[in-house]
């Protein structure tokens, strides 16, 4: 059912929210400009604000000016906006779904492909799905598909994720459901697959025989800002680790799939999640930047972590004994997301001039300076055999790609085309929760290490350094110009 070029109606629930303006509309507009989606793609926003079609269009245009000014093209916008509509409604009021259904029928006139986008708070996911189900608005026919994209967070623990999956699957078939993890839409994350499986020279080394350990750093300079209300209940483990970071671990550690399709790919990433052994509390560091408690909406004495560092193991033939150190935090010194494989030390120090050598390192730079860096030893010119580490690097800029498409562009297009490869399957979500649930529960009971505070603009608590120092390692940053 890949007839995405046919007219399609995209219904956005929660259309007055930030995500619609910041991400969805710029992504759709960009796809429209590139003629990657049908010119007849209709967008119908559903939200509570008392707007009409014209007001909604004006709000979206404002959003484009603010968030995607470079993309905006007034003439193209004019035709694009002709296909934007608005249905005022309350997510909890059944009659408002009747109005929506009537508007869709009026606009479409005949069966049409549909994509529902749930960009609301998670508490509305189940009610929306039920209302769609009651009205059989999930139905497909041989000529038309109906897909649904669900934003994160998908549950706040294993039990709620299982429940939500039950509610989703009571109405939609799994093949109709696209659970978004925007990290999978990033070019550089997908490039991990190309790098590993479109080259012969790296994959033979990609295992316990050559890799000493793996580090994944996700650092943000921003703090929680005005999202403290949400963040206070979520914290970094739910906000970043359970989803984005475990996806990065999976793609780094997965076996090559036999074919490049959604099932094969997701089978392999889920296998990695199953191979991760339960994380020990002593292998975790929970941090909070000092000013966090001053933010509005944060409880006095809050223990919500804004930083986490975890050592975990993927217990399988390929990775047995290789630690994966993963850290993520807000209000840190630099914005960077990178994956580094540190290779083993040479087995024998041949050159007496060097008392030690730096092991080789390969860094996959997810953002912001997208690229790949490989460090190796080279001889310092002159007498003797002293050596130093040098960096062989590739930046996306080098191939003229200064601006990579936003993750949402790719993901929306895939959801329209019916390609679920870069979306999370129900079993993957459930397994990820299964891994973090015991940690969150222990943390809530006050077990494990105490909360480690850190100053904004640093690399997090010193305990995170100690986590690696215990094993004789240091956190490394392998991206940027360095």
Smallest separation (angstroms) from ligand BG6 to the CB of 152: 6
Angle 71-397-407 (CA atoms, 0-180°, nearest 5)? 50
Question: Please, which residues have CB within 8 angstroms of residue 20's CB and are 6 or more apart in sequence?
Answer: 12, 14, 45, 60, 63, 119
The single residue among 239, 370, 406, 430 that binds ligand BG6, judged by CB under 6 A, is 239
Does 409 bind ligand BG6 (CB under 6 A)? Our answer is no
Looking at beta carbons, which residue is closest to ligand BG6?
Answer: 239
Binding to ligand BG6, residues 145-204 (CB under 6 A): none
Binding to ligand BG6, residues 448-477 (CB under 6 A): none
Smallest separation (angstroms) from ligand BG6 to the CB of 459: 17
Q: Please give the sequence-ordered ranges of beta strands (E in DSSP) within 154-313, or none if there are none.
A: 177-179, 211-219, 284-289, 307-313
Q: Which residue, 239 or 370, has its beta carbon nearer to ligand BG6? A: 239
Helix, strand and coil content of the chain, in percent to the nearest 5, comes to 40, 20, 40
Smallest separation (angstroms) from ligand BG6 to the CB of 220: 6
Smallest separation (angstroms) from ligand BG6 to the CB of 444: 20
Which pair of tokens denotes residue 1?
């059912």
Separation CA 381–CA 386 (nearest Å): 8
Separation CA 290–CA 461 (nearest Å): 10
Smallest separation (angstroms) from ligand BG6 to the CB of 367: 6
Smallest separation (angstroms) from ligand BG6 to the CB of 239: 5
- Residue 377: strand pairing partners: 389
Q: Which residue, 87 or 337, has its beta carbon nearer to ligand BG6? A: 337
Binding to ligand BG6, residues 320-349 (CB under 6 A): 337
Task: Decide: 182 and 189 in contact? Cβ < 8 Å.
Answer: no
For residue 47, give Cα distances in angstroms to 88, 91, 150: 5, 7, 16
Q: Which residue, 189 or 214, has its beta carbon nearer to ligand BG6? A: 189
The single residue among 151, 212, 220, 393 that binds ligand BG6, judged by CB under 6 A, is 220
What DSSP assignment string belongs to 204-233? GGSSTTTEEEEEEEEE-S---GGGHHHHHH
Task: Decide: 412 and 27 in contact? Cβ < 8 Å.
Answer: yes
Q: What is the DSSP letter of 252?
A: H
Q: Which residue, 53 or 291, has its beta carbon nearer to ligand BG6? A: 291
Q: Which residue, 183 or 313, has its beta carbon nearer to ligand BG6? A: 183
CB burial string 173-188: b at 16+ within 10 A, e below: eeebbbbbbbbbbbbb
Q: Which residue, 97 or 231, has its beta carbon nearer to ligand BG6? A: 231
Smallest separation (angstroms) from ligand BG6 to the CB of 209: 32
For residue 430, count other CB atoms closer than 10 A to its CB: 18
Q: Which residue, 185 or 418, has its beta carbon nearer to ligand BG6? A: 185
- How many residues at the interface with ligand BG6, by CB under 6 A? 3
CB burial string 92-111: b at 16+ within 10 A, e below: eeeebbeebbebbeeebeee
Active-site residue list: 244
Contacting positions for ligand BG6 (CB under 6 A): 220, 239, 337
């Amino acid at each position: 059912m890949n007839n995405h070029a046919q007219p399609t109606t995209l219904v956005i629930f929660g259309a007055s929210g930030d995500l619609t303006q910041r991400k969805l509309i710029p992504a759709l507009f960009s796809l429209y400009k590139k003629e990657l989606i049908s010119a007849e793609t209709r967008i119908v926003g559903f939200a509570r604000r008392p707007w009409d079609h014209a007001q909604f269009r004006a709000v979206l245009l404002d959003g484009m000016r603010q968030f995607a000014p470079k993309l905006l093209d007034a003439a193209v916008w004019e035709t694009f906006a002709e296909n934007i509509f608005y249905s005022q409604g309350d997510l909890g009021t059944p009659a408002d779904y009747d109005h929506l259904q009537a508007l869709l029928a009026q606009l479409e006139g005949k069966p049409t492909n549909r994509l529902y986008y749930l960009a609301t708070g998670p508490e509305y996911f189940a009610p929306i799905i039920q209302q769609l189900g009651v009205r059989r608005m999930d139905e497909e026919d041989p000529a038309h598909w109906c897909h649904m994209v669900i934003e994160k967070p998908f549950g706040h623990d294993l039990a709620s994720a299982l429940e939500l999956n039950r509610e989703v699957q009571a109405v939609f078939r799994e093949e109709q459901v696209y659970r978004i993890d925007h990290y999978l839409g990033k070019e550089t994350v997908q490039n991990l697959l190309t790098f590993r499986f479109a080259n012969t020279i790296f994959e033979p080394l990609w295992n316990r025989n050559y890799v000493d350990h793996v580090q994944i750093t996700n650092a943000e300079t921003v703090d929680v800002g005005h999202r403290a209300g949400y963040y206070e209940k979520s914290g970094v483990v739910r906000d970043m680790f359970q989803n984005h970071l475990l996806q990065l671990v999976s793609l780094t550690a997965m076996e090559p799939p036999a074919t490049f399709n959604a099932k094969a790919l997701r089978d392999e990433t889920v296998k990695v999640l199953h191979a991760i052994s339960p994380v020990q509390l002593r292998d975790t560091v929970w941090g909070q930047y000092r000013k966090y408690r001053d933010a509005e909406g944060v409880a006095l004495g809050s223990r919500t972590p804004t930083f986490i560092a975890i050592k975990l193991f993927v217990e399988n033939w390929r990775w047995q004994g290789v630690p994966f150190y993963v850290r993520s935090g807000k209000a840190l010194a630099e914005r960077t997301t990178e994956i580094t494989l540190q290779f083993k030390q040479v087995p024998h120090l041949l050159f007496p001039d060097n008392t030690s050598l730096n092991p080789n390192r390969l860094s996959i730079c997810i953002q912001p300076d997208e690229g790949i860096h490989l460090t190796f030893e080279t001889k310092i010119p002159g007498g003797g055999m002293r050596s130093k580490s040098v960096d062989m690097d590739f930046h996306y800029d080098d191939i003229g790609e200064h601006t990579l498409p936003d993750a949402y562009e790719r993901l929306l297009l895939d959801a329209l085309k019916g390609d679920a490869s870069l979306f999370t399957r129900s079993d993957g979500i459930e397994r990820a929760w299964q891994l973090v649930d015991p940690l969150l529960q222990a943390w809530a009971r006050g077990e494990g290490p105490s909360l480690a505070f850190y100053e904004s603009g640093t690399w997090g608590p010193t305990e995170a350094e100690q986590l690696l120092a215990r094993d004789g390692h240091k956190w490394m940053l392998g991206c940027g110009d360095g």
